[in-house]
Amino acid sequence: MIPTAFEYERATSLDDAIARLGAASGSAKVIAGGHSLVPLMKLRLSEPQLLIDIARIPELAGIREIDGRIEIGAGTVHHAVATSPLIQRLCPVVADAAAAIGDQQVRNRGTIGGSLAHADPSADYPAAMLAADAEFHLKGPDGWRIVKADAFFQDLFTVDLGTGEILAKVRIAPAKASAYAKLYQRASHFAIVGVAAALDASGGTIRSARVGLTGASTHAQRLTGVEAALTGKPASADTIEAASSSAGDAPQVVNSDLHASESYRRAMVGVFTRRALAAALARE
Amino acid sequence: MAASPVLPKLVGQRVKRREDPRLIQGGATYVDDVKIAGMQYVQFKRSDIAHGRIRSIDVSAAREMEGVEAVFTGKDIAAMLKPLPIGTPFTSPPHYAVAIDAVRYGGEAVAVVVASDRYVARDAADAIVVDYEPLPAVIDPELAMQGKPTVIYPDFPNNLSVPLISSGTGVHGSTVDDSAIDKAFAAAEVVVRQRMHNHRLAPSAMEPRGVVAHWEPSKGFMTIWSSTQNPHILRTMIAGMLDVGESQIRAIAPEVGGGFGAKINIYPEEYVVAAVSKRLGLPLKWIEERSEAFVATTHGRGIIGYLEMAARKDGRVTGVKLRLIADIGAYNMLLTAAIPTLTMMMANATYDFPAIRTTLTEVFTNKTPTDAYRGAGRPEATYFIERGMDLLARELNMDPAELRRRNFIAKDRFPFHTQTGAVYDSGDYEKALDAALTAADWEGLKKQREAMRSDGRIVGLGLAMYVEVCGMGPSAALPSTGGWEHSQVTVERDGRITATTGVSPHGQGNETTFAQMLADQFGVPLEHVTILHGDTGVVKQGIGTFGSRSQAVGGTALHMAGTKVKTKMAKFAAAMLEAHEDDIVFENGEVMVKGAPASAKKFSEIASFAYVPIPLPEGMEPGLSDEAFFEPSNNTYPFGCHIVMLEIDRETGEPKLLKVVAVDDAGNLINPLIVEGQIHGGLAQGIGQAMIEEVVYGEDGQLLTGSFMDYALPRAIDFPHFELHATVTPTPVNPLGAKGVGEAGTLGSTPAMVAAASDALGVPHVDMMLRPEKLWRIIQAQGGQHGSEQEGGRP
């Protein structure tokens, strides 16, 4: 690792981190697990002059149930999310996605806040956040701001997060009948296509559905056509098949690279939509 | 005297590797752990384009940076170093260690920075501005052969490094008689043809390369540490390039974190760091970054084969033509040009082909040069020929095992002289095949495959035979280095044993296997034996570790040196015990007169006497140390059979291995546990090539797989349990009967994987590598149903 020179500070509280970030006026980056930022620094694609370490800020830690939602501190590592009994029970799609990230070493170090703020187009979490109707609690010099997942992911590596703001916590909605299915890129283990599905299918009818897609396009997005095709229909394999068959047509822009062409990706969107929905329904 | 427990015989036992604790616990010393007072750091500025003329290089900003000691351009380096030597007899364009007026592959060095630390060195390299005039990138070797899109070296028309060489039936020196091969094809009842691509791989050792060079002007002596497989060759080459004597250089390969053939070559960085250290009189360190390793360390494979096979309807092959086109990259490195000639030589495979013709053309492209990579030429041959056997079996609707059986070289025909220039030492191919069929339950697997297919699953079986050339020697087989090995064995004054070996293990486990051998030879505990290697200041002579030669050649030299010392020790014992030396036996840490246990003296007592011999027995010198050089009369030719079962996900095209059975015959085994470890690694890399690893360049010559984010290495989760079995056919070319096993796993596994995928899809041949999308497209073209579409071969 041979990055450009940088200074390093450890913030003691969220407000302390925000103050330090503000004082650096754009030349600083916050770091927690470092699993998105450090690779960029190694390649000198990111050259921050100051790193503000937020990994040990108590306010950013922990998983808890609040107001019928699950709150996950931004500093929570993927392994903790993947193995949280609370998340596994109430919103398994998020645990699935966390378990699908990288390898054990990565999951022990990388954090949910870091991954979401970085917004790699192939990251697993964003799809799960869309399915879990997540809201992101951001704090900046002017106080708190809450952004829904639907509005948070805007473009390639671009999210609704100001330079002076820090993503502090994530709140997800319970969705017992939810699951994440992913086609692994075999080198990076990122998602070529990842689909997160959350259903309310109590009583044999799909009352509502939220389906998030990652990997296929510039940024995670909801498959609203699939959701509409499911809603109000019987909770059956046939419904799922019909709803997923043309799921790959939905994204306007689809990535194409060495590992998967556009047409293959579109086809895989359908396959993994069906797999995610079937797995979600099995948990109802 | 109380009876001590009898020491176990260790040769043939599954002794755990003595090397592992330090490797696992972080106790090993790699090049990057070497620190010398006053040491400066080297950074190479590398080309970010594949092909272009250098208009200008501006190093002024870099030179002015605080902490920068010196900056050198290619012209500066050329004043210190002549063009790099190669180890093959082919003519080659001059290759300067640092590019002078043109760059010919992305990652080629264009300038060198020396600075007080790594970070400053890197900052300074980034501050160097190079102005290029881009030229078209030559990427496709078959277009390159037509001079398209351009010619890289004007003196090498159509980018031909080696225009055409031939081998096989009817080829005698430069005369080529086509009559036999033509006749075979004219009379053929069936002919199969296929173009195949054995794609490039990035060797990807866990430890990238690194060099520390320390020229001490006042001593006129250099110590150079390098992550190399062959420190003695390094010493010879560095001495030649620095114009100093070999006696003025000590080359050390400390712990080396994997080589896989890519650390045989002596690289520009090794010469440059040494030359600049000598120029500046400073110790220098260079450590390769991972992203550099993808472009600056040689690649492996990269060869296209056009195969034609003629046969009778009963499955007997009557003629083989194999036209090879090697994409060698931008420069000839140490063994670059020789590797594809091994493909020619080993195209005879395990078969008694009445007529075979191989031809080879080597082509320059604007890519990283190729050189040895685990298997080095032999997996390529195995792939082309074994796929041909499968094509034939399919064409004749014959079991692929049966077709092979009908063509084997019979076991009573060894030594067997192939028409492609090899002399197979020993073999029993049918035995290995039968062992594999039995171990895998081949007939049962076929039934299982049918049952799974009837459930709509896409499942295939693949089988491949291989024969490999290794244990490299005699010197005629390695004319650039010599084909022997060296060892010195010393029984110390206290009875402990120190042995040096000229092989330079970096994962092969010779510290364990060689200690097992000496412990048995002298009847002492394993813990009393120390094996030293990888340091020309300690190991007098050597060639190195490559070509699966350590045990067969290095092990024999060790055994010979041990025998000399043991003979002398018996003479000292005979004098002490007043007996005849022929009656002296060594066992259980003691030396005694045969049949007279009461005479026993401790091994250490005899050793002590040898160093303080009062009186010195007549006609003897004191001491217990001797050496041996061993040059085998021939290479060795291990062989085996690999079987795989593979399933392809109908919806995604993802391949999944269900079963791997390998039968390997490496002759006598010193340590089956280590042998199995070697086979595991070989299988992983052979299967890796088929399924997951591929170097890919864009049309502009940019490497698209320049990091582990895009270049996939196989991981444990990609494999099922490997079921390993052995047959034992000793070699007559060394007294150990050992053949070598380091590379064998990469030979059979790759074609077996492709055979299984082709079988699963119901097509004659699907070329590597088995990308999910590629397999999915075949399934889609078949309407998502099994087995109709056929991928045709280009003749």
Residue A54's pLDDT band (cuts 50, 70, 90): very high
Residue B443 · residue B450 · CB < 8 Å = no
Other CB atoms within 10 Å distance of the CB of residue B680? 16
For the residues B539-561, what does the mean pLDDT come to? 97
Which candidate, B323, B263, B762, places its Cα nearest to that of B534?
B263
For the residues B764-784, what does the mean pLDDT come to? 95
Residue in chain B nearest A265 by alpha carbon? B773
> Which residue has better confidence, B478 or B206?
B206
Non-local CB neighbours of B379 within 8 Å, separated by 6+ positions? B198, B301, B686, B689, B743, B746, B747, B750
Given B119, B654, B772, which is nearest A5 (Cβ)? B119
**Would you say residue B1 has pLDDT above 90?**
no
For the residues A41-45, what does the mean pLDDT come to? 92
Given B652, B712, B773, which is nearest A271 (Cβ)? B652
Q: What is the mean pLDDT of chain B?
A: 96
Q: DSSP code of B550? A: I
Q: What is the DSSP code string of B736-774?
A: T-B---TTTHHHHHHHHHHHHHHHHHT-S--PSS--HHH
| B122: closest CA of chain A, how far (Å) | 7
Which tokens hold the place of B606? 């005899």
For the residues B648-657, what does the mean pLDDT come to? 98
Given an 8 Å threshold on Cβ–Cβ distance, is B773 in contact with A261?
Answer: yes
Using a CB-CB cut-off of 8 Å, the residues of chain A touching B118 are 2
Residue B783 exposure: Cα atoms within 13 Å on the Cβ side: 4
SS (H, E, C) B448-511: HHHHHHHCCCEEEEEEEEEECCECCCCHHHCCCCCCCEEEEEEECCCCCEEEEECCCCCCCCHH
For the residues B757-770, what does the mean pLDDT come to? 97
Residue B392's pLDDT band (cuts 50, 70, 90): very high
Give the pLDDT of residue B4: 52
Percent of chain B with pLDDT over 70: 98
Using a CB-CB cut-off of 8 Å, the residues of chain B touching A183 are 652, 654, 772
Give the pLDDT of residue B795: 31
For the residues B610-620, what does the mean pLDDT come to? 96
**Would you say residue A117 has pLDDT above 80?**
yes
Cβ–Cβ contact B443 with A under 8 A: no
For the residues B668-684, what does the mean pLDDT come to? 97
Residue in chain B nearest A269 by alpha carbon? B652
Which candidate, B210, B222, B227, places its Cα nearest to that of B277?
B222
For the residues B249-270, what does the mean pLDDT come to? 98
Q: What is the mean pLDDT of chain A?
A: 97
For the residues B256-264, what does the mean pLDDT come to? 97
Give the pLDDT of residue B773: 98
Give the pLDDT of residue B104: 98
Predicted confidence (pLDDT) per residue in B193-213, tens digit:
999 999 999 999 999 999 999
Percent of chain B with pLDDT over 90: 96
Residue in chain B nearest A275 by alpha carbon? B651
Q: How many residues does chain B have?
A: 795
Cβ–Cβ contact B61 with A under 8 A: no
For the residues B771-789, what does the mean pLDDT come to? 81
For the residues B637-652, what does the mean pLDDT come to? 98
| B641: closest CA of chain A, how far (Å) | 28
Residue B560 · residue B514 · CB < 8 Å = no
Query: What was the ipTM of the complex prediction?
Result: 0.96
Given an 8 Å threshold on Cβ–Cβ distance, is A258 in contact with B119?
Answer: no
**Would you say residue B583 has pLDDT above 90?**
yes
Q: Exposure of B245 by Cβ count < 10 A (0-12 exposed, 13-18 middle, 19+ buried)?
A: exposed
| B422: closest CA of chain A, how far (Å) | 39
Residue B789's pLDDT band (cuts 50, 70, 90): very low
Give the pLDDT of residue B477: 86
Give the pLDDT of residue B790: 40
Give the pLDDT of residue B793: 35
Using a CB-CB cut-off of 8 Å, the residues of chain A touching B779 are none
- Note the maximum CA span of chain B: 91
Q: In whole angstroms, what is the distance from residue B238 CA to residue B308 CA?
A: 44
Residue B2's pLDDT band (cuts 50, 70, 90): very low
Given an 8 Å threshold on Cβ–Cβ distance, is A183 in contact with B776?
Answer: no
Given B126, B652, B710, which is nearest A187 (Cβ)? B710
Cβ–Cβ contact B697 with A under 8 A: no
For the residues B321-346, what does the mean pLDDT come to? 98
User: Which of A45, A264, A269, A275 is the best residue to mutate to test the B interface, defined by the most B CB atoms within 10 Å of its own CB?
Assistant: A264
SS (H, E, C) B293-307: HHHHCCEECCEEEEE
Using a CB-CB cut-off of 8 Å, the residues of chain B touching A259 are 710, 771, 773
For the residues B495-505, what does the mean pLDDT come to? 98
Cβ–Cβ contact B189 with A under 8 A: no
Give the pLDDT of residue B5: 60
Using a CB-CB cut-off of 8 Å, the residues of chain A touching B776 are 264, 267
Given an 8 Å threshold on Cβ–Cβ distance, is A188 in contact with B126?
Answer: no
> Under an 8 Å CB criterion, which residues of A touch B?
2, 4-5, 43-44, 183, 186-188, 190, 258-261, 264, 267-268, 271
**Would you say residue B791 has pLDDT above 70?**
no
| Weakest-pLDDT range from A155-159, B56-60, B109-113, B784-788 | B784-788
Given an 8 Å threshold on Cβ–Cβ distance, is B692 in contact with A267?
Answer: no
Predicted confidence (pLDDT) per residue in B402-460, tens digit:
999 999 999 999 999 999 999 999 999 999 999 999 999 999 999 999 999 999 999 99
- Please write down the long-range contacts of A262-269, taking CB distance under 8 Å and 24 or more positions apart: A264/B773, A264/B776, A264/B777, A265/A192, A265/A193, A265/A215, A265/A216, A266/A216, A267/B776, A267/B780, A268/A183, A268/A192, A268/A193, A268/A216, A268/B652, A269/A193, A269/A195, A269/A213, A269/A216, A269/A223
Residue B8's pLDDT band (cuts 50, 70, 90): confident
